[in-house]
Chain A
Amino acid sequence: MIRSVMVINTQGKPRLSKFYEFQPVEKQQELISSVHGVLSGRAENVSNFVDAESIFGPDTRLVYKHFATLYIVFVFDSSENELAMLDLIQVFVETLDKCFKNVCELDVVINYSKMHTVLDEIIFGGQVLETSSTEVMKAVEEISRLEAASNAISLVPKSVSAWRSR
């Protein structure tokens, strides 16, 4: 299963992190910074795999991709295929690209919730749920629509309207 998904910028600031096995916040920060430490030391055009066992324990692999200012990192175990995970990162980024039209780091910062929605449609509890970005987009749009609708129902709190009608 997939253990963790991280989006870290080149300065080491986490932009999104998701651990599918519970980790306390301090541990998360520690893991993120050690991952960043390893990644920042790697040259361009080398392989996308990093030996993660020293960071995440036995039977873990790490695949990352570097886009502009962001590292997108997937950590997983032997039940996933390395190249497939690389493809999955591609799917994730493609979907974000469709969502935000030319995605950049700022989009990721501002649309925190939407990022998670997208990710949740792709990976569910550590398992790959959906691998087609069009399907993901469909679901995400539906969720966003419902979210917007539920926000629009009443802008005035119930207590206030009750008070008004008196």
Chain B
Amino acid sequence: MSFAAFHVVELLSSTRFSHKKIAYHAAAHSFSDDTPVLVLITNQLRKDLTSTSELEVSLALECLSRIATVDLARDLTPEIFTLLGSGKVFVRKKAIGVLLRVFDKYPDAVRVCFKRLVENLESPDSQIVSVAVGVFCELALREPRSYLPLAPEFYKILVDSKNNWVLIKVLKIFAKLVPLEPRLAKRIVEPVCEHIRRTGAKSLLFECIRTVVTSLSGFESAVQVVVVKIREMLVDDDPNLKYLALQALSVVAPKHLWAVLENKEVVIKSLSDVDTNIKLESLRLVMAMLSENNVAEICRVLVNYALKSDPEFCNEILDSILSTCCSNVYEIIIDFDWYVSLLGEMARIPHCQKGEEIEKQLIDIGMRVKDVRPQLVRVSRDLLIDPALLGNPFLHRILSAAAWLSGQYVEFSINPFELMEALLQPRTILLAPFIRAIYVQSALKVLVFCLNSYLLQRGNTASSSTFDGLVLERDDPESSILASCDAPVHCIQDEGFNPRVLNQSFEGLSVEYDGEETATLGQTSALSSLKDGFTRESIINLLNRVELAVTPLTGSYDVEILERARNILCFIELIRQELLDSPVHKDESLESEEAQVSQIIKVMHDAFSSDLGPVSVSAQERVPVPDGLMLAENFEDLEKIFGDVQLPSLSSFSLGSPQYEERAGFSIPIHESKEEPAPSNESTSLLAEHRKQHGLYYLPSAKKEDNYPPANDPKLQVDTNDDDEDLVKLLVSKKKPCHAKPRPVVVKLDGDQAPIAANPRPKEDVLSGTVQNVLLGSDTNPTSSQSKVSTKSSSKRKGKEKLNVDSAKENLGDVEKHDLGNPRSRNSKHHSHTKGRRHGSPGKKGDEREENGQKVKQKSSPRHSKHKARQRTEVPLNVVAQTPVVPDFLL
């Protein structure tokens, strides 16, 4: 309603109270700092503030408390100062209240008004004390250090006051002061416990509890008293109390976990409360209770809750499980087999929307924990062969992880044929193109693995010819999906004795194939037992099957799929000839062709089977920048062009690439050319800047691990050997000897902590660097001057002061009666003073210290500390930090 602003100003001057009231009301509601007409109301406000009618004064104060600007606060400070001494409680309490806004806008007002504000703390009238304490509470929340010297006053109130409102505020102040001055804690812990015992007011009780759990948690006895009270609140019927009690518990949890464990039943029961607040709070607590001993048990309970709760809370539960379990590189997970199965189970929860996080963790675990790979492949297989899961778009990310894992670690697979069938099932058309591309690539990996195993097996049988008569019927239920595998193959052992015959009639060859045996052997000797399953017939079937499924993909619109499909087809084309023809050929030609094919396959297989490890987040920085590489300038330009858009484009660039890079993996030169121009190659300031800008989200570690290993792998390994204490840290299982099942080795890189530890640092450097400098420079001075300089020296020092204003101001503080004389002239001085201060900052600092020196009464010292805090906000260079002095008689 800015159109009416001027009319509001007009109406303010009305002589009728009701009109004036309306005008003030409108002003308070509609004026903001940039309302232009604000400058016109200064005089009217001044008139009303000095009015004889206390109601008019109260109107003006009320309005000022909402709209005061820097100018208004500066110009009206004298009037407010006068009102602070008013005999009428009704006016005085509002004058105290308005100080908060005035101090905020015009810090210099502190010099004038602070003393009276402090005096009001000791007022006999409880209303006034209440408001004054309220103001201090607000001030202390913003900058607690400055108010430490007032601790004795607050302590007196804490002990003496009977007013719950005042006590609550005082407790809040102490909660802020205690961390700064540990000696205070000892003093207040007793009164606080006393209040807990005595009070009937729930609000005060809760405030006491909160004070203890946040600031006094070192006092065991106090915490015990509090926990008893919390338990009472927990079982209360009032949901508010229950909610707050849970909140208090979650504050106490990090330091006193026993408090939570004692209330375990109530907390877990609250998970099914009707109130979402309570549910969330108890979930948080349950997560806090999680440890390596109970993680399986609790996660089981939680997943059950997730199954039956509403979608929103279900995802909340899943989210907290995922984030807690993966914290600090899966610190609390001992049994990874179990955890991986849990992830697979989560994927099947109907409301699950945490696909990306589960995807990330599956791949991450796959790369970090070698021992769990067979289980990972098993879980992936279960996910992949279930066509129903393809219908849920939230699960597609999980499926992409499953596909990648089963391709990467196919050697642990029980039945690669079945896997292939799953990867190429028709319903994969529902997947997003980039996930489908992963499917196709995994299919290639599986194919190469099958061929390689087949060749190996053939080579073995050919050379050793120790094929005992093993006649077995295949009874593998899992293979039912794959038609080619289904056909029972019978062993004809005769050929087994004659290698030559064997080579020529593969159809006849059959093998012992026992799924169960493979499963048990799988982990260690999966490869050796598996390869028995490859017959010539099954391989040819496989090739046909793949060709059939992949051929339509060459018409795909997505280049990634297209390219990968073509790769597969060409590969099949390349080898099929030989494989099919071989039986017909004569022995001599067979030898050479066989060798050629097996060489191709072997190279492919080697390329795929090199282990991908996790990469430290900071690994990229260790790569030296090649000479003559001038990336910095180019990227500066890019920064200008893209700004914030750069990050997404970066990640999307690398998203589809891992498989591609892998394929290129066997030719090292391509590697390097791939690696050099990698965008984050420069370890220069640009990177730091960029990282700072994007905070934690800079290249999430899983993504990176997904993408970069092929390029970095050789280098990484070298690094590892060079300085392993620097790069790779292995968590050895003997760390937790008590467990029956040893914790598998989890590869942990020093860079894993980097995103948390390193990234905030640059920000702090910028901010705190300057502040700290100034802090250190001036830390000692105030204390010494405060304690040592005597009152007498002040007159001497005054002479040295550049500005008269300062002395005037000091008079103001010291001799109140005198300074009320001419408010108007003081106004102008205020003005000139601020200007002077802005220019001559170093000299000013000295002046202030001198002022400090003049005060011997402890009450006056906060006045200055306060002022300094204010000043710091206004002119950063002027910062004078004060080491808080808490008078010893308190402690």
Within the complex, what minimum Cβ distance (angstroms) separates B105 from chain A? 12
Q: Is B592 an interface residue (CB 8 A)?
A: no
Contact: A116 with B25, CB < 8 Å? Answer: yes
With both beta carbons as reference points, the residue of chain B lying nearest to A87 in the complex is identified as: B203
Provide the bound-state CA to CA distance between A127 and B137, in Å.
Answer: 10
A47 within 8 A of B: yes
Interface residue from B18, B131, B207, B278 paired with A127 (Cβ < 8 Å): B131
Which of B238-246, B559-567, B697-705 forms part of the interface with chain A?
A: B238-246
Tell whether B622 is near chain A: CB-to-CB under 8 Å: no
Q: Are A150 and B32 in contact (CB under 8 A)?
A: no
Q: Residues of B contacting A18 with CB < 8 Å? A: 29
CA distance A48 to B277 in the complex (A): 10
Q: Shortest Cβ distance from A118 into chain B, in angstroms?
A: 13
Interface contact A81-B98, CB-CB below 8 Å: no
For the complex, what is the distance from the CA of A125 to the CA of B131, rounded to whole Å?
11
Contacting residues, chain B, for A131 (C-beta < 8 A): 130, 165
Q: What is the distance, in angstroms, from B771's C-beta to the closest C-beta of chain A?
A: 22
Q: Which of B101, B203, B243, B274 contacts A81 (CB 8 A)?
A: B203
Q: Cβ of A47 and Cβ of B134 under 8 Å apart?
A: no
Q: Which residues of B contact A81 (CB under 8 A)?
A: 168, 172, 203, 206-207
Tell me, yes or no, whether A68 is within 8 Å of chain B by CB.
no
Q: Is B94 an interface residue (CB 8 A)?
A: yes
A25 contacts across to B, CB distance below 8 A: 1
**Residue B181 at the A interface, CB < 8 A?**
no
Residues 130 to 148 of chain A near chain B (Cβ within 8 Å): 130-131, 135, 139, 142-143, 146-148
Is A83 a contact of B244 with CB atoms below 8 Å?
yes
B100: contacting residue among A49, A127, A147, A150, CB under 8 A? A127
**Chain A residues, Cβ within 8 Å of B98:** 124-125
Q: When the two chains form the complex, which single residue of B55, B138, B202 contacts A146, counting CB atoms closer than 8 Å?
A: B55
**Contact residues of A with B, CB < 8 Å?**
1, 18, 20, 22, 24-25, 43, 45-51, 78-79, 81-84, 86-87, 113, 116, 120, 124-131, 135, 139, 142-143, 146-151, 153
How long is the Cα–Cα vector from A37 to B59 in the complex, in angstroms?
A: 34
Instruction: Give per-residue flags for B52-67: 1 if the beta carbon is below 8 A from chain A beta carbons, else 0.
Output: 0101000001100111
Separation of A100 and B57 alpha carbons in the complex (Å): 26
Establish whether residues B16 and A150, one from each chain, have CB atoms under 8 Å apart when the complex forms.
yes
Partner of A125 from B90, B100, B242 at Cβ < 8 Å:
B100
- Assess the B165–A125 pair: CB atoms within 8 A: no
**Could you list which residues of chain B lie within 8 angstroms of chain A, going by C-beta atoms?**
1, 16-19, 21-22, 25, 29, 31-33, 53, 55, 61-62, 65-67, 90, 93-94, 97-98, 100-101, 127, 130-131, 134-135, 137-138, 141, 164-165, 168-169, 172, 202-203, 206-207, 239-240, 242-244, 274-278, 280
Least CB separation from A17: chain B residue: B29
Nearest chain B CB to A134 CB, angstrom units? 12
Question: Would B66 and A125 count as touching, CB distance under 8 A?
Answer: yes
Determine the distance from Cα of A46 to Cα of B276 in the docked complex, in whole angstroms: 9
Q: Decide if A20 touches B94 in the complex (CB within 8 Å).
A: no
Q: Which residues of B contact A48 (CB under 8 A)?
A: 239-240
Q: Which of B55, B90, B274 is A43 in contact with, Cβ under 8 Å?
A: B274
Do A147 and B17 touch (CB < 8 A)? yes
Q: Do the beta carbons of B239 and A45 come within 8 Å of each other? A: yes
Instruction: Report the Cα distance A43→B55, complex, angstroms.
Output: 43
| Cross-chain contact A47 with B242 (CB below 8 angstroms) | yes
Q: Contact between A127 and B134 (Cβ–Cβ < 8 Å)?
A: yes
Chain B residue with the shortest CB-CB distance to A120: B62
B242 to chain A minimum Cβ distance, whole angstroms, is 7
Q: Is the CB of A83 within 8 A of B134?
A: no
Neighbour of A22 across the interface among B32, B100, B135, CB < 8 A:
B32
- Specify the chain A residue showing the minimal Cβ separation from B89: A135
| Bound Cα distance from A14 to B29, whole angstroms | 15
> B240 and A147: CB pair below 8 A?
no
> Are B97 and A49 touching (Cβ within 8 A)?
no
Nearest CB of B to A17, in Å:
9
Closest beta carbon of chain B to A87's beta carbon, Å: 6
Docked Cα-Cα span, A132 to B17, in Å, equals: 25
Between A and B, 18 residue pairs with Cβ closer than 8 Å are A22-B32, A22-B66, A46-B276, A49-B277, A51-B277, A79-B137, A81-B172, A84-B168, A87-B203, A113-B21, A125-B97, A127-B100, A127-B138, A128-B130, A131-B165, A142-B55, A146-B55, A153-B16
Inter-chain CA distance A9–B31, complex, in Å, is: 26
Say yes or no: B62 contacts A124, CB within 8 Å.
Answer: yes
* Bound Cα distance from A51 to B279, whole angstroms: 13
What distance in Å separates the Cβ of A48 from its nearest Cβ neighbour in chain B? 5
Q: Within the complex, what minimum Cβ distance (angstroms) separates B779 from chain A?
A: 28
Select one of A50, A116, A151 contacting B277, CB under 8 A: A50
Known A49-B243, A81-B206; contact A147-B21, beta-carbon cutoff 8 A? yes
Minimum CB–CB distance from B764 to chain A (whole Å) comes to: 19
Are B240 and A47 within 8 A (Cβ)? yes
Contacts of A51 in B (CB 8 A): 277, 280
Distance, CA A20 to CA B203, complexed state (A): 23
Q: Given A20-B66, A124-B62, A127-B135 in contact, is the A83-B18 Cβ separation under 8 Å?
A: no
